[in-house]
């Protein structure tokens, strides 16, 4: 099925009100492109694998929307006329920019599954990370195998930050380990901990998509729900999540998130850690290493080691006493 795509040029100042106007006219699913810097809340929710690189804000925003190609031409012309009329009226009190609308055609795309063509099996040391639609080769029968379909949640294991965490978790896990993964995404770290021999995994995430993604991955990996629990919410400031996760109950806490969030998380998450527990952090770009090391020390933790892969850093520490 083909769609008519319309790309409206406006300003970042007006993008919210123009989006609202489009929805009022019955247009749903507006896509916004701009260069507005991420807010602290945006960054907090962007648990890696992907770190966005955004150019300097130029004040221009593009709003794209789609209409059925089979829509009657008269109806289509009326919709566009209504949009232009609304833009003209808005221009009296807000800078709507050029207001130009470009038209093109696009094929119907399965956005949720389109990423699959880019994700193929790969190795982290002797660990084979493989999507469900690929087969394990006979020569890989001796590997630690984990099946991962991230779906709409972050976490394929391909990013250096995740691989740094995987290696550190494997180093410190024991048969008695209870591990908490803050920002669990697809559940890859918690599931690998279980495959390395851990007793129990808990994951928290801000994105509700993480629940479905993790449960689906648990099923294909033969991991039971009494082995891995996942909860949605911000453990940094949500007491309900903190209480549900529990206090001084974890032997390992892993957090593969951005450095500024780690600074906020660290003094809180020490309450979930047992005395002697290990804290494994990643998602740290190299020039933010000292920021995280200082936060870890300030929270009373002992830095055990700092490891590197590419331009990324992992800081591992221990809660003594």
pLDDT, tens only, 75-133: 889 999 999 999 999 898 889 999 999 988 776 555 455 556 667 788 889 999 988 78
> What phi and psi values does residue 193 have, to the nearest 5 degrees?
-55, -40
Mean pLDDT of 217-240: 94
Q: Which region among 39-43, 67-71, 92-96, 167-171 has the lowest average model confidence (pLDDT)?
A: 39-43
In sign, the C-alpha dihedral spanning 216, 220, 223, 224 is positive
In sign, the C-alpha dihedral spanning 196, 201, 204, 209 is positive
pLDDT at 44: 44
Mean pLDDT of the chain: 86
Q: In sequence order, which residues have a C-beta less than 8 Å from that of residue 202 and are 6 or more positions away?
A: 178, 179, 180, 181, 190, 228, 229, 230, 231, 245, 250
The answer on pLDDT for 1 being more than 50 is yes
pTM for the model: 0.67
Cβ-contact 14, 91 below 8 angstroms: no
pLDDT at 50: 42
Tens digit of pLDDT for each residue in 6-47? 999 999 888 888 988 887 787 867 888 887 665 554 444 444
Q: Which residue has the higher pLDDT, 321 or 93?
A: 93
The answer on pLDDT for 51 being more than 50 is no
pLDDT at 240: 96
pLDDT at 186: 87
Cβ-contact 120, 103 below 8 angstroms: no
What whole-number distance in Å separates Cα of residue 146 and Cα of residue 191? Answer: 8
Task: Please provide the size of the chain in residues.
Answer: 321
What whole-number distance in Å separates Cα of residue 49 and Cα of residue 152? Answer: 12
Cβ-contact 188, 226 below 8 angstroms: no
> What phi and psi values does residue 79 have, to the nearest 5 degrees?
-60, -45
Q: Which residue has the higher pLDDT, 271 or 74?
A: 271
């Amino acid at each position: 099925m083909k769609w008519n795509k319309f790309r409206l040029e406006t300003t970042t100042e007006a993008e919210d009100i123009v989006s609202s106007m489009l929805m009022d006219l019955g247009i749903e699913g507006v896509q916004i492109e701009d260069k507005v810097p991420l807010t602290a809340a945006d960054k907090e929710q962007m648990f890696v694998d992907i770190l966005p690189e955004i150019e300097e804000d130029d004040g221009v925003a593009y709003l794209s929307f789609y209409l059925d190609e089979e829509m009657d031409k008269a109806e289509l012309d009326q919709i566009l006329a209504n949009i232009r009329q609304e833009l003209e009226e808005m221009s009296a009190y807000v800078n709507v920019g050029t207001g130009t609308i470009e038209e093109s055609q696009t094929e119907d795309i399965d956005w949720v599954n389109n990423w699959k063509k880019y994700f193929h099996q790969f190795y982290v040391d002797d660990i084979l990370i493989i999507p469900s639609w690929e087969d394990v080769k006979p020569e890989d029968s001796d590997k630690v195998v984990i099946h991962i379909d991230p779906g709409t949640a972050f976490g394929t294991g391909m990013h250096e930050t995740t691989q740094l965490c995987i290696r550190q978790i494997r180093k410190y896990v024991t048969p008695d380990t209870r591990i908490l993964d803050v920002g669990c995404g697809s559940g890859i770290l918690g599931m690998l901990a279980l495959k390395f021999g851990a007793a129990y995994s808990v994951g928290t995430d801000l994105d509700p998509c993480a629940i479905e993604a993790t449960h689906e991955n648990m099923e294909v990996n033969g991991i039971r729900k009494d082995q891995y629990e996942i909860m949605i919410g911000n453990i940094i400031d949500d007491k309900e999540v903190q209480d549900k996760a529990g206090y001084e109950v974890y032997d390992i806490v892993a957090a593969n998130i951005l450095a500024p969030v780690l600074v906020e998380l660290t003094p809180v998450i020490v309450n979930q850690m047992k005395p002697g527990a290990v804290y494994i952090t990643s998602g740290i770009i190299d020039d933010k290493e000292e920021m995280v090391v200082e936060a870890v020390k300030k929270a009373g933790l002992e830095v055990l080691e700092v490891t590197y892969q590419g331009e990324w850093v992992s800081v591992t520490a221990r809660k003594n006493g």
